[in-house]
Amino acid sequence: MILYDFDYERPNTLQEATALLRQTEGKARLLAGGTDLLPNMRVQVLKPTMLISLGAITPRPPQAELDGSIRIDALTRLADLENSEFVRREIPMLAESAHVVGGNQIRQVATLGGNLCQETRCLYLNQEHDYQFTAPCYKRNGDCCYPFPGNKPGTCWSVYMSDTAPALIALSANVDIIGEAGVRTVPAETLFTGNSLEPLWLARTEIISSVVVPPIPTGFGWGYHKSTIRGGLEFAMANIAVALWLENDRKTCAGARIVVGAVSEGPLRALATEKSLVGQVLNADLLWKAADDASNEINPLPHHGFTRNYLNENIRVYLRRTLITAFERAYGMDA
Ligand SMILES: Cc1cc2nc3c(=O)[nH]c(=O)nc-3n(C[C@H](O)[C@H](O)[C@H](O)COP(=O)(O)OP(=O)(O)OC[C@H]3O[C@@H](n4cnc5c(N)ncnc54)[C@H](O)[C@@H]3O)c2cc1C
Ligand code: SF4
């Protein structure tokens, strides 16, 4: 399918980019790596009248701040994240989550900001053929939903499949957002509206400028797993990010964050399960029970042919392994 005509600008700074976004009253889109935006334009899920390329702006390398947090420019390419010795050493979960996005060709151009701001996906939405699905669904401003016709009108259950977002939420990361009123900072987990039609709390005139990961607590361990049907080059059927940190006795849980992505309108935290772990002396039985509880708590949306039961079971099994890995790292057994 041939792309329609649109205007194109290539500003030299993020400030110029925000000014352009304002001038076009939200009808323009930022073009970072373009690996999510351009395919969506080809199938006319998105129809911006102007693309504002961020390609002339060089991202700053990841750096440690005075308070021990780590700042990562949102324009950083995923390949640079996964290959950065600094990031791999200081925040290996983020490097791992970047490493599993698509294939190397994608990661060489795709950015962290673009990964966070990607559109939700649905088997029926992301294709437009003359012979099928010609009536637009709710996500394309139409009046139907192919996989879930029994839902309340206007309900879209397309899922948000970023691989880095669950890791950033497990790491309690914040994002800096540049807009008309200056810079605002919000926890990454509050970016998500829970509505697939407008999945992000981000005005069309705003730009994510950087991601800040706070200092890692002592006694910290992490686990990350992405399930895909073919094992690579593929969007997730579910992705899991776990952060656990222990008291000085290296047995008692001081804190936990369990995040599951790709099975809902945005990443989900298993808050009740996290709470139930804090203060407990951890062992394999307890972590297995936590995985069972969390998979029930998450209640995944069926997507891309995977049933709710299948996804529930997938999350339960891989969460067991991910929790154990996080605990072993926190305990120091992986050293
Ligand atoms: C074959 C293929 C496989 C893929 N596999 C995966 C996968 O496994 N996992 C995964 O997570 N994704 C996957 N993707 C989706 C996509 O490649 C990634 O999400 C990628 O990180 C998007 O980044 P980008 O820089 O290319 O974003 P773009 O396509 O340039 O932008 C995506 C959206 O974000 C907006 N945007 C970009 N930067 C900013 C910013 N700084 N502030 C505010 N808004 C911004 C854009 O306007 C656009 O709406 C895949 C894509 C393809 C084509
Ligand atoms: S789930 Fe959303 S994107 Fe998929 S067909 Fe229904 S309305 Fe469209």
Whether 271 is covered by a domain: the verdict is: yes
182 burial type by CB count under 10 A (0-12 exposed, 13-18 middle, 19+ buried): exposed
Query: Could you tell me if 196 and 226 lie in one domain?
Result: no
The percentage of the chain sitting over the pLDDT mark of 90, rounded to a whole number, equals 87
Query: Could you tell me if 228 and 90 lie in one domain?
Result: no
Whether 235 is covered by a domain: the verdict is: yes
Whether 87 is covered by a domain: the verdict is: yes
pLDDT digits 0-9 by tens, 270-282: 999 999 999 999 9
pLDDT digits 0-9 by tens, 79-126: 999 999 999 999 999 999 999 999 999 999 999 999 999 999 998 876
CATH of the domain at 251: 3.30.390.50
Query: Could you tell me if 229 and 263 lie in one domain?
Result: yes
Whether 137 is covered by a domain: the verdict is: no
Q: Which atom of ligand 1 is nearest to the CA of 29?
A: 47
Query: Could you tell me if 286 and 184 lie in one domain?
Result: no
Determine if ligand 2 sits within 6 Å of the CB of residue 133: no
Instruction: Compute, in angstroms, the gap from residue 115 CA to the centroid of ligand 1.
Output: 4
Strand partners, 269: 259
Instruction: Compute, in angstroms, the gap from residue 38 CA to the centroid of ligand 1.
Output: 9
CATH of the domain at 107: 3.30.465.10
**C-alpha span between 117 and 58 (Å, rounded):** 19
Q: What total number of domains does the chain contain?
A: 3
- Does 335 have pLDDT greater than 50? no
Q: Which residue has the tokens 């951890």?
A: 282
Instruction: Compute, in angstroms, the gap from residue 119 CA to the centroid of ligand 1.
Output: 8
Query: Could you tell me if 71 and 177 lie in one domain?
Result: yes
What is the arithmetic mean of pLDDT over 129-144?
75
Q: Which atom of ligand 2 is nearest to the CA of 146?
A: 5
Give the residue with greater pLDDT, 127 vs 291: 291
Query: Could you tell me if 47 and 112 lie in one domain?
Result: no
Question: What residue numbers bound the domain in which 165 lies?
Answer: 67-117+160-213
Question: What single string gives the DSSP state of each residue in 117-145?
Answer: TPPPB-TTTS--BTTB--S--GGGT-S--
Whether 334 is covered by a domain: the verdict is: no
Give the residue with greater pLDDT, 9 vs 332: 9
